[in-house]
Structure 1
């Protein structure tokens, strides 16, 4: 079981479903959310600034969001400023564009690219990645 997960998505229903499925599967002790990439970056900045010490082990990241989309988040998160952050990212998106899947492989912190909605099967699959 992971200690903390951050779900980043602009859709409140998707966030609610994520929380429900993760909780029911006992995949994580705590789940926090952000409505866009900017909120997620602000959260990681608060860790770097020592305002909080709660580092998520995993981020579920949507790609298509207003304010700051998932790609912009990944571009910022992939800079030297965040190089000490060990958080892994799973892109969780409704996109079916194979180019998006390929593009996500350019980011070393992205461990997988999965299609919405989140399911128990996905969490079981991801659990094996964290046990390796």
Structure 2
């Protein structure tokens, strides 16, 4: 089980589903959300200035297609040196895209440990539970 999970998605229904499935599976104590990459980076900027790292996520679910700052732009920014302190947080891309180029592109980011299709399900969480125990 994870203490805190961050779900980054612009779709309020996807965020609600993410929270419900995670709670049903007892996968995390806390789920926080951001509606785009910029909002998520602002959360991490706050963690950088708050030495207690209150409720800092230890897993991220990331959508790719969002307004303001999409998932790719988030990954680019998140991999910069000023976010290096968060380099151990695993990221699961959870997207509706099935483009093999997107899957391949995601592998260039060391934090991205998996690329899965929406929507989140208990089967996905069961798979991730097993996979993440081996990391």
- TM bucket (normalised to shorter chain) is over 0.9
Pairwise mapping of residues 108-127 of structure 1 onto structure 2 (< 5 A)? 108-127=110-129
Q: What is aligned with 1:19?
A: 19
| Counterpart Cα distance in 1 of 2:67 and 2:52 | 26
Aligned residues: 132
Partner SS, residue 82 of structure 1: helix
Q: 1:93 to 1:52 in 2, by over 3 A?
A: farther
Are the equivalent residues in 2 in contact too, given 1:55–1:87 (CA < 8 A)? Answer: no
| Counterpart Cα distance in 1 of 2:85 and 2:130 | 24
Deviates most, 105-114 or 83-92: 83-92
Q: What is aligned with 1:61?
A: 62
TM norm structure 2? 0.95
In structure 2, stretches of 5+ residues that fail to align are none
1:83: how far off? 1.1
Of 97, 100, 107, which residue of structure 2 is paired with 1:105?
Answer: 107
Pairwise mapping of residues 76-91 of structure 1 onto structure 2 (< 5 A)? 76-85=77-86, 86-91=88-93
Residue 36 (1) aligns with residue 36 (2): yes
In structure 1, stretches of 5+ residues that fail to align are none
Q: What are the Cα deviations for residues 8-53 of structure 1, in whole angstroms up to 9, with x where unaligned?
A: 0000000000000000000000000000000000001100111761
RMSD over aligned Cα atoms:
1.0
Q: What is aligned with 2:9?
A: 9
